[in-house]
Amino acid sequence: MSLTVILVNVPTLAFRVIYHILLAAYRYVVPKPERSVDGYSVLITGAGGGIGSHLAKEWSFRGANVALVDINMATLKETAKQVSKSSNVKVKTYQCDITNRERVAALAADVRRDFGDIDVLVNNAGVLWGKAIECITEADVRKTMDVNLLSQFWMLDEFLPAMRKRNSGIVINVASAAGKVGVPMCADYCASKFGVVGLGESLKEELRQSQCSGVRIITVCPIFVNTGMTQSINGGQTKIVSRFEKLLEADEVASRIVQGALRDETTIYIPRRLCLLEILGSVLPQGALDALRDFLELKFAPATVSALQSADDNKKEH
């Protein structure tokens, strides 16, 4: 290391690190005020379901026009009806299987025709089977990766270039707490969500290094939420239980996501204390982590392979 590096670069580094730690601590206590999104165009995938439909309400409530995307047109129409009832913004629905690259390209053309360039892309659609590794089929794994992870690449491919060109835009990738810590009965789901976290981290750095600071990448990590996703695990036979945490409600999660995005947060943990788990996960030895997990008692019930296998067999028979 040269003397110049020691005398100039190291103190600069120390100053920047300390400044940002203090700023983050201050922002934890006093969050930034929300910026206005009146007239923005926001595209939300999975808008027919739990969190997605509440996200549509949250953005429209703040005056943003919404392009709502889902594979299920019936539930999507229901979301659009509720949004139109409570606001005067522009609302359009698009039925699309976002795992299909060509359909995503056609969707993007339709959205650009109706809205022009979008300001906010919310990659929210997702699936969860909640099966033990022995019960997950090849089709399950491929579907999980296609919907939860690969679709985010296809959506980014269509909408990120225009944001980059304008050096303006927000991308919100909905991951999960299961994208930060391992959760039992969720090997495929966790792998896809760790992928979403990695995608966001890489993209953030890529944009930063290309001086594209006007485009913000946000990763969202909620614990389990009371939606169709968690209510239908193994046909509703398996429940997520925890000694301390009850399932969050979709409306509070959506509200926190939009608030966090508009206050320039980059990783949105819901609840906020979840970030402690991540820190502990990277510093504690395995035995201590196991003790912490035993204490928290987060599990899927019934969780035995045989119980899930019989639930699976039942499903196949009917």
Ligand X SMILES: NC(=O)c1ccc[n+]([C@@H]2O[C@H](COP(=O)([O-])OP(=O)(O)OC[C@H]3O[C@@H](n4cnc5c(N)ncnc54)[C@H](O)[C@@H]3O)[C@@H](O)[C@H]2O)c1
Active-site residue set:
189
Q: How far is the CB of 157 from ligand X (least distance, A)?
A: 16
Helix (H, G, I), strand (E, B) or coil at 266: coil
Which of these, 203, 195, 226, 50, lies nearest to 125 by C-alpha position?
50
Alpha carbons within 13 angstroms on the beta-carbon side of residue 296 total: 16
- Separation of alpha carbons 68 and 77, rounded Å: 9
Most distant CA atoms of the chain, gap in Å: 74
- Residues 258/58, Cβ–Cβ less than 8 Å: yes
Q: Which is nearer to ligand X, 212 or 254 (CB)?
A: 254
If the CB atoms of residues 51 and 89 are measured against ligand X, the closer one turns out to be: 51
User: Of 221, 264, 289, whose CA–CA distance to 37 is shortest?
Assistant: 264
Residues that bind ligand X in the complex, under the rule CB under 6 A:
45-46, 48-52, 70-72, 75, 97-99, 124-127, 147, 174, 176, 222, 224-225, 227-230
3-class DSSP state for residue 48? coil
Measured from the CB atom, the residue of 147 and 261 that comes closer to ligand X is: 147
Min separation Cβ 195 and ligand X, Å: 12
Q: Kindly tell me which of 58 and 212 has the beta carbon lying closer to ligand X.
A: 58
Contact 84, 140 (CB under 8 A): no
Least distance between ligand X and beta carbon 197 (Å): 12
Based on CB atoms, which residue is closest to ligand X, 168 or 298? 298
Provide, rounded to whole angstroms, the least separation between the CB of residue 189 and ligand X.
7
The per-residue DSSP string of 207-262 comes to HHHTT-TTEEEEEEEE--EESHHHHTGGGGT-EEE-SSPPPEEHHHHHHHHHHHHH
Provide, rounded to whole angstroms, the least separation between the CB of residue 71 and ligand X.
Answer: 4
Q: What are phi and psi of 285, to 5 degrees?
A: -70, 160
- Closest approach, Cβ 230 to ligand X, in A, equals 5
Question: In angstroms, what is the minimal distance from the CB of 243 to ligand X?
Answer: 17
Nearest to 121 by CA among 184, 196, 174, 51: 174
Nearer to ligand X, 45 or 60 (CB): 45
Amino acid at 158: E
Using Cβ positions, the residue closest to ligand X within the complex turns out to be 49
- Angstrom CA distances, 283 to 163, 269, 277, 289, stand at 37, 19, 10, 9
Of residues 124 and 219, the one with the C-beta less far from ligand X:
124
The secondary structure of 158-222 as a DSSP string is HHHHHHHHHT-EEEEEE--GGGTS--TT-HHHHHHHHHHHHHHHHHHHHHHHTT-TTEEEEEEEE
